[in-house]
Structures are given as C-alpha cells and as structure tokens.
C-alpha cells in the first residue's frame, strides 16, 4: 500500500513509523524544513537553545512502543529521565509548593502545606485514577466514531459509570468540593490548560489529568524535548519512510468517494491512503475545498493559544526548577478575560528552564527561560499592543516573585537574548488555525464526542490525526491518534486485500 502523510508533526511522524512497520510504502510531506511541527528547536545568540513548543513529557511508553513495533530497543536510540519533582508553584500570598513526582509523596506533601487532610488528598487522587481506568483506555485509545467501539463490553461498563464521572460538574466544582483550600484548588484547576480549556467550564471528568503526571510520571528526554521528534524521524528513516521537506501539499484529490492521492506543485501523486496531520479546520479550508464541511465540529470553541517569551538570562536562579508556575491572584477573572478574547492584567506565568537538566542549553552561569502565558486564539486582536503590555507585566511580576524588594525593571537587566511568539506566529509557523494550540477546547461535556473523527466519512482512504482531532491535543494524545489511525488503516487493508 502506498501512503502519504501530510505533516511531520509528532502524530504524523508516529503514524509514518506505524504504517511503515506493517509494510506500507510511506511518504511524508512537510511544508517546513524539518520534522517536529510544534516540537522543534531553535537557538538565540549567546549560546541559548530552546524547544519551541511542548515542554512537558508524560506517557513515554507511547514513544517506546514505536521502537518495539520496528523490532528495536528504544534505549539504543531514545532515552529520558523521570523527574523527581513535577513543578514548583508560587502564589501571590507567598506560598511556595514543590509537587513531588509520586502520588504518595504528593499526598503527604500537599497535606502538610495546605489546609487539607491527607485522606482527602488521597481520596482525590484515587478518584482521578479510577476515572482514568474507567474511561482513559476506552475513550482515548479507540475511535469514538466506530460502532465497534460502542459494542465493546468495556465501553458499556464505562457508560454505566457515567453518573460517578463528574461529567455534569466543572473541574473547578470537583476540585473545590474535594480539596477546599483555594490554593490547592487553583493548582489542580490549572490542569485544564493541558488541553487549552477553562477549568470553570471543562467537565469534571478531566480531573483525572493529574494521574498522568503523578502515577505514570513526568520525564525529560536526554537532549531536551526535540529528541522526541528526531528519534521518531530517524526511526522512520531506518524503516524506509521518505520525507519531503519544504513540500507544501496543495490539495487532497479523490475519485468519487475514494481518495486518489495528493497534489504537490500542481502535480498529482497517487496514493492508496492519505493521512492528514494538518489542523483539521485548515485541512478542509485548503486541501478539501470541495468536501462537505462538518460545521458542528469545525465551529466549536477554539482552545487557548499562548504568548511565549524565550529569554536568555545572564544569571542562575536556584529557587527555580525545570517547571515553574506563578499563579495569578484571581484565576476566575483571568479565564473570564480569555473567554472574551483578551488578556488579564494579572496573569498566571509558566517558566520552563531546560538548562536545569540539560546544561548545554545555556552558557555556564546562565539559564534559558521559556516563559508562557495562556492567551486567546487569534480573532483579529492587536497582538503588538497586547504583547507589549503583557511583557511589561510579566517582567515586573517575575521580578517581584523572585526578589520581592526589586524595582519593576530589575529582571529586565538580566535578559540578554529574546524571541517572542504570539497566536498569529503560532498559526504561521505550525499551521494551527487561529494559533489555537489544541484545536478545540474541552469546555463542554460533549467536547470529546464533537471532535473530528480519525477518518473521513465522505472519502474512503482518508484519515486525520493530531491535536485538532480525536482524542485531542498534547503529546500523549497525538501519539494515541497515530495508533488509532494505524489501527483503522490496518482494518481497511484487511477488508480490501484480495
């Protein structure tokens, strides 16, 4: 079977490996000059290296299994370290909390720091685990749009448990009822941002997300996050996958209800199967102009985007870890502003410093800061003005957190290299419609079912994967979308083979 993969983002890279491993002849077409999509890297003057996009790595088994499919030992090609701590949290009232990696340590440490009994904390984490066991493997690892999924006894069992899964409460309501302490509630509310959602609207089922970090663990690849993309890309090369960089696909062609191939530089290239890793909204807009648009799916609320400041810092801050979050005073107001397409005057700030564990990412005595603030998707805002005001507030806020007596401009003196990326840049550089990092949000209880399926209902042989379709955004879910697509293609191959 001849297969084209459109887009060398992490899902496209993984799908290429899976399909090549079972005998497909695979070509990957990518408009950019290298693999990775959002998961790329760059450097700034002075010796600072940055991962462009995702900075948190969980569920590494989804990468390891790609090597196993190819008959290789993943440790020969891709290595990572489990983090002893997940994140360092800072609150405006002076509270600091370092979240240990394991669930047991988290429970004990949180009970000591916050006004919550240890048993209440344990019960909360046990509930998160139960939600994942009931629904995660069922709904994240299978297509929600195939009858075979709903005929599975495990799915039927999970459906019977819906009343206890908090689908009719928001994440915030679940956390507030279970944890009480406003600081701890805010800590767990922030997990809604892992898929670009609002904790005051996203269903309480998503309170299972912390289970991913504290049960399965958080990790860092040996050479930084870009190692994930390069290792899968190189694995594909060893399997015979052909990569075509700087090659923009113009159109997906079909003959009636059957995919025919793709058009590149006005030339039709025939394929039996086409796998599209492009943002699904833009895929219909640019590659499938004559196809019927699933309007209900495509016009759901967008996920959040981000404004990211990449800073080279000329000193070290031992109080910072790899992952750090500085909370706003009023989380509800911050998300209300995001819902209105604006940025709050008081924002939550995420700072990732990969040089803490990858020393080569910054010169000795320096640090590389990836500073991210959640932002609305781009709907025509004046991003130059918004970003300028945001930068000033972030510089002042971080300076006050780190050196409380410092003047507003104190941190500015230590920034020696800089790059800024906002929602319009994210769309331009990664092909994410309106710069939305996760496609659509999960701000209603039916969001999972309204995501675009991993296949076309109209065109046989056309499949979709990546963060804008089922099961959603973020590295683990993108890798699972590749698994789902490979399974769907395999079933089709079985049916159509002579």
In a domain, residue 262? The reply is yes
Last residue of a domain, one of 159, 192, 216: 216
Both 77 and 172 in one domain: the answer is no
Last residue of a domain, one of 153, 184, 216: 216
pLDDT digits (tens, 9 = 90+) for 280-315: 999 999 999 999 988 888 888 999 999 999 999 999
Q: Average pLDDT in the 80-103 region?
A: 96
Strand-pair partners of 469: 452
pLDDT of 370 > 70? The answer is yes
CB atoms within 10 A of CB 289: 10
In a domain, residue 444? The reply is no
In a domain, residue 48? The reply is no
Q: Average pLDDT in the 173-186 region?
A: 97
In a domain, residue 416? The reply is yes
Between 46 and 300, residue with greater pLDDT: 46
Q: Which domain holds residue 331?
A: 301-430
Number of domains in the chain: 3
Last residue of a domain, one of 216, 242, 268: 216
Identify the band that residue 8 occupies on the pLDDT scale cut at 50, 70 and 90: very high
pTM of the model: 0.94
Q: Tell me, what CATH number does 25's domain have?
A: 3.50.50.60
pLDDT of 149 > 70? The answer is no
In a domain, residue 266? The reply is yes
Both 406 and 305 in one domain: the answer is yes
- Lowest mean per-residue pLDDT among 86-90, 127-131, 272-276, 352-356: 127-131
Both 119 and 130 in one domain: the answer is yes
pLDDT of residue 498: 41
At 326, list the tokens: 């500085």
Both 238 and 321 in one domain: the answer is no
Both 315 and 389 in one domain: the answer is yes
CA distance 464 to 457: 11
CA distance 289 to 240: 32
Query: Do residues 217 and 82 lie in contact, with contact meaning Cβ atoms separated by under 8 Å?
Result: yes
Both 205 and 235 in one domain: the answer is no
- In degrees, to the nearest 5, what angle opens at C-alpha 315 toward C-alphas 312 and 319? 105
Both 395 and 379 in one domain: the answer is yes
In a domain, residue 438? The reply is no
In a domain, residue 123? The reply is yes
pLDDT of 497 > 50? The answer is no
In a domain, residue 439? The reply is no
Both 93 and 185 in one domain: the answer is yes
pLDDT digits (tens, 9 = 90+) for 393-405: 999 999 999 998 8
pLDDT of residue 409: 87
pLDDT of residue 124: 96
Closest CA to 44 of 312, 381, 343: 312
pLDDT of residue 151: 62
Both 311 and 403 in one domain: the answer is yes
pLDDT of residue 318: 97
Both 88 and 177 in one domain: the answer is yes
Both 182 and 235 in one domain: the answer is no
Both 22 and 75 in one domain: the answer is yes
């Amino acid at each position: 079977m001849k297969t084209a993969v459109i887009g060398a983002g992490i899902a496209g890279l993984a799908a290429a490996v899976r399909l090549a491993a079972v005998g497909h002849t695979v070509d990957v077409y990518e408009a950019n000059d290298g693999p990775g999509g959002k998961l790329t890297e760059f450097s700034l003057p002075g010796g600072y290296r940055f991962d462009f996009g995702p900075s948190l790595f969980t569920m590494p088994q989804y990468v390891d299994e790609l090597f196993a499919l190819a008959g290789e030992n993943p440790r020969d090609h891709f290595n990572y370290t489990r983090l002893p701590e997940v994140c360092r949290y800072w609150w405006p009232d002076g509270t600091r909390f370092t979240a240990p990696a394991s669930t047991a340590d988290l429970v004990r440490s949180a009970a000591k720091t916050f006004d919550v009994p240890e048993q209440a904390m344990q019960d909360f984490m046990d509930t998160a685990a139960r939600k994942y066991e009931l629904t995660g493997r069922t709904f994240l690892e299978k297509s929600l749009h195939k009858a075979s999924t709903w005929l599975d006894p495990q799915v039927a069992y999970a459906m019977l448990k819906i009343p206890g899964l908090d689908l009719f409460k928001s994440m915030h309501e679940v956390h507030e009822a279970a944890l009480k302490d406003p600081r701890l509630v805010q800590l767990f509310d922030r997990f809604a941002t892992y898929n670009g959602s609002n904790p005051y609207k996203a269903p309480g089922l998503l309170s299972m997300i912390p289970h991913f970090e504290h049960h399965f663990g958080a990790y860092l690849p040996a050479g930084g996050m870009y190692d994930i993309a390069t290792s899968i890309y190189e694995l594909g090369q060893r399997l015979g996958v052909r990569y075509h960089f700087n090659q923009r696909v113009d159109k997906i062609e079909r003959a009636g209800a059957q995919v025919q191939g793709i058009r590149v530089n006005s030339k039709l290239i025939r394929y039996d199967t086409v796998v599209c890793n492009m943002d699904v909204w833009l895929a219909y807009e640019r590659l499938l102009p004559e196809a019927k648009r699933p309007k209900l799916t495509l016009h759901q609320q967008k996920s959040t985007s981000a404004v990211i400041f990449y800073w080279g810092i000329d000193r070290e801050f031992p109080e910072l870890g790899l992952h750090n979050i500085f909370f706003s005073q009023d989380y509800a107001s911050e998300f209300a502003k995001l819902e209105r397409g604006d940025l709050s005057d008081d924002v939550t700030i995420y700072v990732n410093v990969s040089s803490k564990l990858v020393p080569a990412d910054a010169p000795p005595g320096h640090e590389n800061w990836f500073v991210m603030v959640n932002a609305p998707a781009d709907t025509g805002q004046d991003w130059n003005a918004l970003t300028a005001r945001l930068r000033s507030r972030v510089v002042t806020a971080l300076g006050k957190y780190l050196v409380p007596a410092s003047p507003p401009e104190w941190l500015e003196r230590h920034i020696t290299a800089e790059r800024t990326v906002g929602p319009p840049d994210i769309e331009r550089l990664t092909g994410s419609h309106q710069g939305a990092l996760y496609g659509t949000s999960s701000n209603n209880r039916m969001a999972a079912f309204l995501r675009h399926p991993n296949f076309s209902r109209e065109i046989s042989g056309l499949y979709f994967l990546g963060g804008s379709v089922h099961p959603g955004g973020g590295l683990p879910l993108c890798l699972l979308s590749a698994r789902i697509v490979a399974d769907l293609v395999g079933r089709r191959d079985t049916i159509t083979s002579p």
